[in-house]
Chains A and B, each alone.
Chain A
Amino acid sequence: MEERDGRAGGFKKDTADRLLRMHFRDGRTRVNGDAQLLMAEMLSVFVREAAARAARQARAEDLEQVDIEHLEKVLPQLLLDF
């Protein structure tokens, strides 16, 4: 997994919370503060992995532009890992 600290981008804990709340089946379900932070981190890792793997795929094909087909190739394993 790509590890990075001191990152500029990344999901905010409020965004992560709202994204999750949209899909809860029970109206009483909540996410505690630390879990919100962890989920924000999880989502950021998810995106970074998707991007980095697609980039590696493009590079392996000697290309500089990352296109959808590169993402498609790495998607199955990405979803299995998450």
Chain B
Amino acid sequence: MAAEAGGEERELLTQRLKAAVHYTVGCLCQEVEEDKDVQFSKQSIAAISEITFRQCEIFARDLEMFARHAKRSTINTEDVKLLARRSSSLLKYITQKSEELASSNMEQKEKKKKKSSAAKGERTPREKETAVTESEDSNMS
């Protein structure tokens, strides 16, 4: 019975994710419509969504393999760059984005350092600077 419930939940999650993809694909297609002065048929948008959703499986498996090959269980940006290896312009683009991320992370670290050194008098000495692995305020989402 637990397996059934798990199967249903997974189905629900799949549906929700497909809907999220479809929505985002719609938005992106709208941008292209304006850019190229065309109109996308509903079927073509649906087809792009379907293809994108399926492509995620390929991406996920590859990424997992790359990380495992490096004896890691957490996928990082190096793995993503490997994923982009097939097209040189894609690789260039992703590498660029990755560098932008890295430099904005550095900026955040600098800010935190300044803040914590300024507030040293008010805070307990136990406060440590934790490595930022997740950047929340990014202008990419």
Q: A1-43 vs B: 1/0 string, CB under 8 Å? A: 1011001111111110011111111101111111111111111
Total count of chain A residues near the partner, CB < 8 A: 62
Task: Assess whether B60 is in contact with A22, with CB atoms less than 8 Å apart.
Answer: yes
Task: Assess whether B80 is in contact with A29, with CB atoms less than 8 Å apart.
Answer: no
Task: Assess whether A58 is in contact with B38, with CB atoms less than 8 Å apart.
Answer: yes
Chain B, interface SS category: helix
Answer whether A68 and B59 are a contact pair too, CB < 8 Å, given A9-B24, A29-B75, A59-B38: no
Task: Assess whether B74 is in contact with A30, with CB atoms less than 8 Å apart.
Answer: yes
The answer for the CA separation of A51 and B67 in the assembled complex, in Å, is 30
The answer for the CA separation of A22 and B21 in the assembled complex, in Å, is 14
Q: A19-B53, A51-B40 are in contact. List 14 more A-B contacts (CB 8 A).
A: A9-B31, A10-B28, A11-B24, A13-B140, A20-B63, A22-B57, A30-B75, A34-B76, A34-B133, A38-B94, A42-B83, A66-B41, A67-B44, A82-B90
